[in-house]
Amino acid sequence: MNLAIGLSGIVLSLVAALSGIATILVGLRYSRRKLLVVGARYSWLALAGMLIATFAMQRALITRDFSVRFVAEQGSSLTPPLFNVATMWSALEGSVLLWGLILAGYLVVVTIKFRGRYTDPMVAWALVVMFFVMGFFALSMIGPANPFQSFDPPVGYDGPGPNPLLQNHILVAFHPPMLYLGFVGFTVPFAFALSALITGRLGEGWLLETRRWTLFAWGFLTAGIILGAWWAYDVLGWGGYWGWDPVENASLVPWLTATAFLHSVLVQERRGLLRVWNLSLICATFALTILGTFITRSGILASVHAFSAGNFGGWLLVFFALITVVAITLIFWRGEHLRSPGGMDSPLSREGAFLANNLAFAVFAFVVLLGTVFPLIVEALQNRQISVGAPYFKKMSMPIGFTLLFLMAIAPLLPWRKANKELLLHRMEWPAWGAALSMVLAVAVGARGAIPLLGFSMAGFAGMTAIRQLGLSARRYGFQGLLGRKNGGMLVHIGVILLAVGFIASSAYVDQASLALTPEQKVRIGETDVTYVSSNTYVHSNRIEEEVLLEVDGQILSPAVERFIASGQIVPAPDTRITLFEDVQVALLKPPEGEEEKIVIQVTRQPMLIWIWLGGLLMLVGTVLSLFPQSGKAHFKKAALARELDVDSV
């Protein structure tokens, strides 16, 4: 029954998508308002179909219906309830189903948001694009990524369950959905960008329609990346949080291009510049989400994130090529109409800083993308395997990261059009003190090395710039001074700075050692005392856990290794002592052996690592505040003051 219900839901979504496309196109062709309204309402049928299919999949997982091949390959009677629900996105077919569900949800929200405007050609064409994307994924779920294939289980059959690494931490229930809400969310601004190109309405209207949608998707993608880093740090036991894994990079690249877009769109709104660039950025961001899905879901990579099934990778590659060709063709077609009405008055201006910022983000995205896909290209062309490791990414990303920190510091201080030397020096006074104070504090607490100290100094400069801006705004407008894109963006900047400080400190001053211990033995690693107290073995429904108790600087930690019964796979379960200024993580490499109950542990000390998570949280808070406009009175006063002082009024 689950097979029939699930497939019927997918077919319903496909029919709804195709019907929506046909109905809206006919309505546009013959100017039939009623058809445009009916066409938009097919979004509800598409969502209903995805809800039906998702219900069928969850029902099959919960009831262990092994007649569904996906459940037979990924489910198990031993999987705990929470991870049983998350099993849907622990493998390819289920993750595509989640993608379709979220896309249908976005489609419905767009139709609600623009109700009453279905006759507007820009809205109508945007819906056509979204229906087309919906149709592609629905068709994929009938074809190579079908989650409802049948299976004939033998008597007493029980599945292996999901990958053990995907069923031993609660973040598995949140990290993938957050990433997908971000990835899929970029469909909305992409659809309006194509609509603007198709209709020829190439001014700033499409930006106004979609800027919050872009920010919304960017916020979810940011949350997904941060949660993924946290999950890796808390689960994998290697002491790190970002390994430049190709699948990690696949989420980072569209985040970089989307971040560039969020900055450069301000220039187009204010000065009418960078029209081609902004259209290219948002189209590239959506295309990169599809390319990232190909990297993750084609099976060409060996990764805990990567899934494979049939020729779905080929489908994704063709779809990526199609949207890329369509976007480039439309941009060239409208090239004559995309010329900016004016030019840049001076490189030493806010628009000049934003342009440099965009170039840095674009170079960063290219560097990461090149390092990710280059081994795949070499293997495809020369049939030999090479690897591009973390040293390449660290070496290439370091100067770009410093450049972005500098631009983050200087851009808010610059006026539009052209900088006045006296005004700029006045605005730089407090940020310069912030830079000097940061370096002095870093040296005082023992930081050494030219590169880390430079990073701390630039972080102090950028941080004081953001604090100065927020202070001025709060003094003028009170709490409402924290609302709006500019001031919410300053909070995001402070979050990025905290994250950067945590990344620099934890990378530059990491201390890691492996050692063998016997019960009651005490050792000292750097400034950390570790004592082996005892060991325990626990039998759970789905795994056997071997745990050791360690006293680390007076606090009991309990790292363990877990052997999952269904698969026999052994995974680590590290434990961490967290403070505001230092993390000490202990991973159990070898459980107690022999009569001496000897163990092998790995101890990793990293300063200021919690600042990464605090910075990520502040980035999300800033994103939420950016979604709220200031009151009309505050905005009017701000605009009037901006005209007087030549500062940004939005």
pLDDT at 310: 57
pLDDT at 548: 92
Query: 380 pLDDT exceeds 50?
Result: yes
E strand or H helix that includes residue 576: strand 575-578
Query: 307 pLDDT exceeds 80?
Result: no
Are 292 and 319 in contact by the 8 Å Cβ rule? The answer is no
- Give the pLDDT band (50/70/90) at residue 106: very high
Query: What is each CA distance from 423 to 156, 409, 426, 429, 650, in whole angstroms?
Result: 78, 16, 5, 10, 20
Query: 298 pLDDT exceeds 70?
Result: no
User: Model pTM greater than 0.85?
Assistant: yes
What are the pLDDT digits (tens) for 503-546? 999 999 998 888 899 888 888 887 888 999 988 999 988 889 99
As a whole-number percent, the residues of the chain with pLDDT over 70 amount to 93
What is the residue whose two structure tokens read 């100017």? 31
pLDDT at 340: 67
- Give the pLDDT band (50/70/90) at residue 648: very low
Query: What is each CA distance from 617 to 225, 408, 409, 503, in whole angstroms?
Result: 12, 19, 21, 15
Q: State phi, psi for 544 to the nearest 5 degrees.
A: -110, 125
The DSSP code for 156 is T
Q: Closest Cα to residue 423, out of 436, 434, 413?
A: 413
Query: What is each CA distance from 173 to 39, 81, 86, 170, 459, in whole angstroms?
Result: 35, 11, 5, 6, 34
Longest dimension (CA), the chain: 85
Per the model's pLDDT, the better-predicted residue between 166 and 193 turns out to be 193
Neighbours of 194 (CB within 10 A): 26
The DSSP code for 171 is G
Q: How far apart are CA 228 and CA 304, in angstroms?
A: 12
Burial class for 349, CB neighbours closer than 10 Å (0-12, 13-18, 19+) = buried
Q: Closest Cα to residue 232, out of 585, 498, 602?
A: 585
Structure tokens belonging to residue 164: 């053990």
pLDDT at 311: 77
Could you tell me what percentage of the chain is helix, strand and coil, using 3-state DSSP and rounding each to the nearest 5?
65, 10, 25
Rounded average pLDDT over 164-187: 90
Are 223 and 161 in contact by the 8 Å Cβ rule? The answer is no
